[in-house]
């Protein structure tokens, strides 16, 4: 009871909720894009069920990390091929590396699908559809990958389990609410899906760099360094700014083209009227 009434714990709870909200942005984007792989009438169910199950597994992961933190941090694979590859792989690094690789694969696959000429002539979306069960599985699995760092950050900030658990549940509820809005926005503005996929690609690179750093990975004598979060957010800001400017510039060009076409039609009409009067 004393722990529950502590002002310090409530302040920590607010900090954790803010941290999980910020770190959950890329996860939310992945959920919104991946849910579009199922039938439209089942997409909301998939998002909510996927996030709901992910929250439960996050709590399990939190409990497991508290009890078995050394298991996730101790190396299980050591390679010392000097000049070629060196690593001390642990479970945490392995999960982050696999998650980053899968996100990059998914983003590239979807980008190629968007630009495929075959899909322009044959709008057969059934080949891209996934079952509800498979989609929910991937949403939960990737949610756990995204949540690893946030759960570890939570453990570093407090040793009160209820504070971390409440922050995880609240962030899950927030994601359930926002996922519908993000998904609807992407479906109404299909051009922004391209931006979303490239952001996912950037997230995958971020995870690969973090996983390589956690694994003390060296390739050809060069150590893999993690991408700084400040760099990640700066690149993200630039990508969004470029997309917004390009979108507005395209609208300006379309407006100018429409005005020229109207002017040409008016001149042609005036010339036709003059010719008729002359005749």
User: Concatenated DSSP letters for 30-56?
Assistant: HHHHHGGGS-GGGHHHHHHHHHHHHHH
The whole-chain average pLDDT of the chain stands at 79
Instruction: Give mean pLDDT, residues 267-278.
Output: 71
Instruction: Give mean pLDDT, residues 161-186.
Output: 83
How large is the C-alpha radius of gyration of the chain?
25
- Residue 251: pLDDT over 60: yes
120 and 221 in contact (C-beta within 8 Å)? Answer: no
Is the pTM higher than 0.85? Answer: no
Out of 46-55, 98-107, 126-135, give the one with best mean pLDDT: 46-55
pLDDT at 121: 46
- Residue 163: pLDDT over 80: yes
Angstrom distance (rounded) from CA 198 to CA 104: 9
In degrees, rounded to 5, the angle at the alpha carbon of residue 109 between the alpha carbons of residues 230 and 104 is 30
pLDDT at 194: 78
Sheet holding 218-219, edge to edge: 75-81, 85-90, 218-219, 222-223
pLDDT at 2: 54
Residue 129, C-beta contacts closer than 8 angstroms, at least 6 positions apart: 37, 38, 39
pLDDT at 161: 80
Question: How is the chain split into domains, by residue range?
Answer: 2-227, 230-279
- Residue 123: pLDDT over 50: no
Grade residue 235 by pLDDT with cuts at 50, 70 and 90: confident
Angstrom distance (rounded) from CA 34 to CA 200: 11
- Residue 213: pLDDT over 80: yes
| Predicted confidence (pLDDT) per residue in 165-174, tens digit | 888 888 888 8
- Residue 127: pLDDT over 70: no
In degrees, rounded to 5, the angle at the alpha carbon of residue 100 between the alpha carbons of residues 94 and 101 is 90
139 and 31 in contact (C-beta within 8 Å)? Answer: yes
């Amino acid at each position: 009871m004393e722990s529950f009434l502590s002002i310090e714990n409530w302040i920590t709870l607010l900090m954790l909720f803010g941290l999980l909200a910020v770190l959950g942005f890329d996860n939310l984007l992945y959920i919104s894009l991946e849910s579009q792989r199922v039938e439209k009438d089942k997409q909301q169910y998939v998002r909510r069920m996927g996030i709901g199950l992910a929250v439960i597994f996050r709590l399990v992961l939190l409990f497991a990390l508290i009890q078995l933190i050394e298991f996730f941090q101790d190396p299980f694979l050591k390679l010392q091929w000097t000049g070629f590859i060196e690593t001390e792989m642990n479970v945490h690094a392995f999960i982050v590396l696999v998650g980053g690789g899968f996100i990059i694969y998914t983003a590239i696959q979807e980008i190629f699908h968007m630009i495929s000429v075959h899909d322009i002539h044959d709008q057969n979306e059934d080949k891209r559809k996934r079952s509800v069960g498979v989609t929910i599985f991937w949403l939960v699995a990737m949610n756990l990958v995204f949540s690893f760092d946030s759960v570890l950050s939570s453990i570093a900030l407090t040793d009160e389990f209820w504070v971390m658990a409440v922050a995880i549940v609240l962030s899950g509820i927030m994601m359930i609410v926002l996922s519908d809005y993000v998904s609807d926005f992407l479906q109404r503005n299909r051009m922004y899906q391209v931006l979303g996929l490239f952001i996912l690609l950037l997230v995958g690179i971020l995870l690969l760099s973090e996983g390589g750093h956690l694994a003390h990975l060296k390739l050809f004598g060069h150590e893999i360094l993690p991408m700084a979060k400040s760099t990640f957010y700066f690149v993200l800001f630039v990508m969004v700014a470029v997309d917004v400017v390009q979108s507005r510039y395209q609208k300006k060009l379309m407006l100018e083209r429409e005005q020229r076409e109207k002017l040409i039609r008016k001149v042609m009409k005036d010339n036709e009227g003059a010719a008729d009067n002359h005749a």
